[in-house]
């Protein structure tokens, strides 16, 4: 399984982290600590396990704190590039598009939220993605959440659903027989050409991009429900994360 160049990743770290207040009143969420390491360090070292040592990190909220800790630790052994969103936080889609120049020459990109901790085997997911030869592969699990991606019987993305408001996008209506709702893990592998297909500008979500592209392109589910996974978005989730990732 060879690529023209080694894999590159992007960690979304620009968010305001409002759920992690009061910590995020003075710090970016990427620097929240789990067992003595920041979320940023955890995920840079996690990516290193799969020989991913080039990482783009977008910054907005207390950006200098992130830049300083990366410089002080020499990227924990990885080459880290900063995508500066100081003027305006661009959300996941806008953040990816702004960072496009970092991905030139790479066939595939791994993109993940900095506040997700997991033991997902990226090598297996990458092999799946390359073997299927699809535009994007979304890591998903069977868990209770408020918003779901909807996949058809072939595990192809076909829509999105808000389980609280019952809003549905991409399909006319949710059909249990046709649609499997799966929770997004905040981790995806995409062909780099996906960025050139993005029509939106400014601030927008990758969810909107996927819903725009799903009819003309194949976007698949990668179900990793047996893996450890936690969204470290709230103070109480840090306590749980510390027992899961010792």
DSSP string, 90-148: -HHHHHHHHTGGGGTT-SEEEEEETTEEE---HHHHHHHHHHHT-SEEEEEE----SEE
Judged against a pLDDT cut of 90, whether residue 91 lies above it is answered with: yes
- Mean pLDDT computed over 99-109: 97
Long-range contacts formed by 104-108: CB under 8 A, 24+ apart? 105/4, 105/5, 106/3, 106/4, 106/5, 106/7, 106/8, 106/192, 107/3, 107/4, 107/5, 107/191, 107/192, 108/3, 108/7, 108/189, 108/190, 108/191, 108/192
Q: Report, at the CATH architecture level, how domain 8-244 is classified.
A: Alpha-Beta Complex (3.90)
Query: Whose structure tokens read 């936690």?
Result: 230
Q: Partners of 139 in the beta sheet?
A: 222
d(CA 42, CA 241): 11
- Mean pLDDT computed over 149-178: 96
- Mean pLDDT computed over 152-164: 97
Q: Which pLDDT score, from 0 to 100, does residue 3 have?
A: 44
Judged against a pLDDT cut of 90, whether residue 4 lies above it is answered with: no
Q: Which pLDDT score, from 0 to 100, does residue 246 have?
A: 79
183-209: b or e for each residue (b if 16 or more CB lie within 10 Å)?
bbbbbbbbbbebbeebeeeeebebbbb
| 196-224 confidence digits (pLDDT tens) | 999 999 999 999 999 999 999 999 999 99
Q: Which pLDDT score, from 0 to 100, does residue 5 have?
A: 57
| 67-87 confidence digits (pLDDT tens) | 999 999 999 999 999 999 999
Judged against a pLDDT cut of 60, whether residue 1 lies above it is answered with: no
Domain ranges of the chain: 8-244
| 130-147 confidence digits (pLDDT tens) | 999 999 999 999 999 999
CB distance 47 to 9 below 8 Å: yes
């Amino acid at each position: 399984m060879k690529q023209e160049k080694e894999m590159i990743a992007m960690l979304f770290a620009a968010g305001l982290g409002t759920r992690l207040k009061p910590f995020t009143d003075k710090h970016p969420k990427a620097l929240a600590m789990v067992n003595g390491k920041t979320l940023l360090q955890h995920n840079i070292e996690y990516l290193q396990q799969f020989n991913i040592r080039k990482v783009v990190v977008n910054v907005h909220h207390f950006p200098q704190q992130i830049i300083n800790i990366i410089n002080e630790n020499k990227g924990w052994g990885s080459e880290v590039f900063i995508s500066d969103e100081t003027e305006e936080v661009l959300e996941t889609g806008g953040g990816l598009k702004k960072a496009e120049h970092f991905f030139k020459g790479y066939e595939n990109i791994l993109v993940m939220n900095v506040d997700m901790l997991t033991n997902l085997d990226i090598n297996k997911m990458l092999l799946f993605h390359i073997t299927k030869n699809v535009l994007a592969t979304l890591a998903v699990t069977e868990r209770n959440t408020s918003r779901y991606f909807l996949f058809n019987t072939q595990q192809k993305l076909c829509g999105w659903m808000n389980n609280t408001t019952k809003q549905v996008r991409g399909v006319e209506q949710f059909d249990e027989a046709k649609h499997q709702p799966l929770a997004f893990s905040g981790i995806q592998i995409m062909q780099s050409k996906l960025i050139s297909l993005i029509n939106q500008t400014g601030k927008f979500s990758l969810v909107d991009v996927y819903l725009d592209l799903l009819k003309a392109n194949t976007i698949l589910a990668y179900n990793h429900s047996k893996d450890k996974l936690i969204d470290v978005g709230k103070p109480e989730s840090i306590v749980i994360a510390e027992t899961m990732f010792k």
